[in-house]
Each structure stands twice: as structure tokens, then as C-alpha cells.
Structure 1
């Protein structure tokens, strides 16, 4: 567990009222989906780092489950998520080559944040918005990060879609900035 505290204060921003954690859903030991020459673990670890940097620039103190391509085991990430008010784990979806879009999986209390994350991701990447869904809406009936950690899973795009993947690769920095903006706003709500 690592606190990111590099704070470049955002002028006239409300103080942070909620704790934040960002997580990469996979690692070298559990690489997730692979398609089109990419591994999910590599994409989400890099995206976690980009989002962490963007949160720090917005003055948001937050936790991560690792740095660079290093990622803690899921049980440790779940323990960190459990202690955060806002915990987001990044993933890439997998499906047929025509499957496309962004979605979140969470408990109902996180649907509003999930909808905001989906909207900004769909807008930045130019992909479909599949919306905020319950944790059992995907291929799994129970997700540890959601059930045990109380977090939200953000399926950034379909790694199996050449269009989604190209959009993500070209737009990931801008997307990280926009995700950080949405999370920063949520963290400052009393």
C-alpha cells in the first residue's frame, strides 16, 4: 500500500472529503485477457499509473495497489479498497471482435459514479457507453473487489476490439486526466 501525496493544490477547489484508491485489475501473475498483441495486465497497470499522476496533479491524496508494472495480489488490493470511500479497479473487457464499449460493475450505491466514469470514457475514446451495472452483469456472479472491497470495476474498453483498443491506446493520457477529474469531484463531495 502506498499513499500518493504529491499535491499541487488546485486553486479554489473544495477540500478532499473522501478517501480514494485506484487499482490495476491484473499483474504478471494474473495477466487477464490478451488480444491484438496486448495483455490486459500491461494496459491497466500503465493506466493506473497515469490516473495516479493525474489525481496527484489535482491535489487528490490516494492509495494505489502498486507502481509501474508491479501490482499487489488481489486479496491485498481488496483490503486497501475496503478502507477507501472511492475504490476503482481498472480492467479491459474481452468478447467477440465486434464487442465494444465501456461499463462499470459495482454495488448500487456506486452506480452514479459508475455512470459518470462511463460517460467520460465513452466520450474521450469515442466508444459505446454500456453503462453502470451490478457486479453479476458480466461473466462472473461475484467479484472480490466489489463484494469484499466495496469498490467499482471500470472496464475501460474491449481489448478484443481493434477499434476500442486503438482508441484507448491513442487516448489513454487524456482519459486518465478526465477520470481523475471525475474522481476528484466525487472525492470533494461532502
Structure 2
């Protein structure tokens, strides 16, 4: 398993909930491909940045693979089902004009999902499309949500040159802010 155990000593409330962060798709499934990038490469890198930020904040957490690697969805779903908080990162794809961030989850996760959308939209300067149920739009019964009880966080539209440029410029800050939201939720009783 990918437990991250190297955590900094942080003066904060103790962690109350188990955490999993996951990168969508896998080494064998690239997901969306646009503008010379694959979704899998981007979200694996982002997961690793968030993992480091969580460790720096003293949050013990699980990942769906070691740094730079991404296990298949089935393994991520099993891990998500065991975690109190599970967030999987993705990039959306549509027309080059489509922009924004959103999440897919059960209604009970909308408060955390909404906070993830807010910090992402603010950091990247893109539209906040908000927290949505797993069957929103073209989606239907997503294993990470249905079977794992997790949140799918569509960070931005990979097909949007504006979104991609904002992500590339602000990814480190975004990872810090997303980790902060997850850390706060992990410490909340």
C-alpha cells in the first residue's frame, strides 16, 4: 500500500479521519489527451504534490501508488472504500472553450467537494462549476464514488488552453490549498 508516513511535526489538532488521495486513470489508461499532455500524467503529478503538502501539514494518508506511478482504478476503489476521506483527481475534456472545475460525489460529501471547487477556482482563476452528484452530465455510476464513496475532483478542462496555462502557472499553490482543505477535513471531529 502507499501509506505516506514521513510527516512533519505540526502544531495542529490531531487527525480524526483516514485520507486517500488518488490520481485518476492509470499507467495503462491515459484518460484525456490534449495539448501534448495526458490526463494521467497531470493528475499523477498533482496527486504527488498534494501528498507532499499533506505530509508537510502532518496528515498521514494513503495514495494509489508510489510517487510517479498510478495504480489501476480497481485498486483505488478498494482503498477509497476503506478511507473516511477519499479524493481522486481528474481533468475534464470538451471543447477548447469549456472551462472550470467541479466535483462528483454523494450529496453527503458536497460540503468538502464544494470547498475543493472553491479553492481550485480561486487559485486558477477559472469558473467554479460546483459540487455535483455522480450522475451529472455525461457521467453515470462512477466506481470511485459509487463503490468507494469518494469524491472525483475535475481540476480543470485539459482541452482549454486558458485552464491548462493557469494550472501550469499555479499548480504548486493549488496543491497547497487543496491539501489544506483536505487536512482541515481530516482534523474535524
Which band: TM-score by shorter chain? Answer: over 0.9
Q: Distance in 1 between matches of 2:20 and 2:62?
A: 4
Aligned residue for 2:121?
A: 122
Matches within 5 A, 1:52-63: 52-63=51-62
Contact 2:49 2:172 in 1 (8 A): yes
Shift of residue 20 of structure 1? 0.3
Contact 1:26 1:32 in 2 (8 A): yes
Contact 1:27 1:69 in 2 (8 A): no
Q: Distance in 1 between matches of 2:52 and 2:137?
A: 30
Cα distance per residue 1:30-66 (max 9 Å; x no partner): 1000111111010000000000000000000000001
Structure 1 length normalisation: TM-score? 0.98
Contact 1:101 1:128 in 2 (8 A): yes
RMSD of aligned Cα (Å): 0.8
Cα distance per residue 1:64-118 (max 9 Å; x no partner): 0012331111111100000000000000000111100000000001000011000
Contact 2:27 2:71 in 1 (8 A): no
Aligned residue for 2:135?
A: 136
Structure 2 length normalisation: TM-score? 0.98
Contact 1:102 1:130 in 2 (8 A): yes
Shift of residue 130 of structure 1? 0.2
Matches within 5 A, 1:28-39: 28-39=27-38
Aligned residue for 1:9?
A: 9
In the TM superposition, structure 1's runs of 4+ consecutive aligned residues that sit over 6 Å from their partners are: none
Q: Distance in 2 between matches of 1:27 and 1:187?
A: 26
What stretches of structure 1 of length at least 5 have no aligned partner?
Answer: none
Shift of residue 27 of structure 1? 1.8
Q: Distance in 1 between matches of 2:164 and 2:40?
A: 14
Aligned residue for 1:75?
A: 74
SS in 2 for 1:43: helix
Q: Distance in 2 between matches of 1:108 and 1:50?
A: 27
Aligned residue for 1:21?
A: 20
What stretches of structure 2 of length at least 5 have no aligned partner?
Answer: none
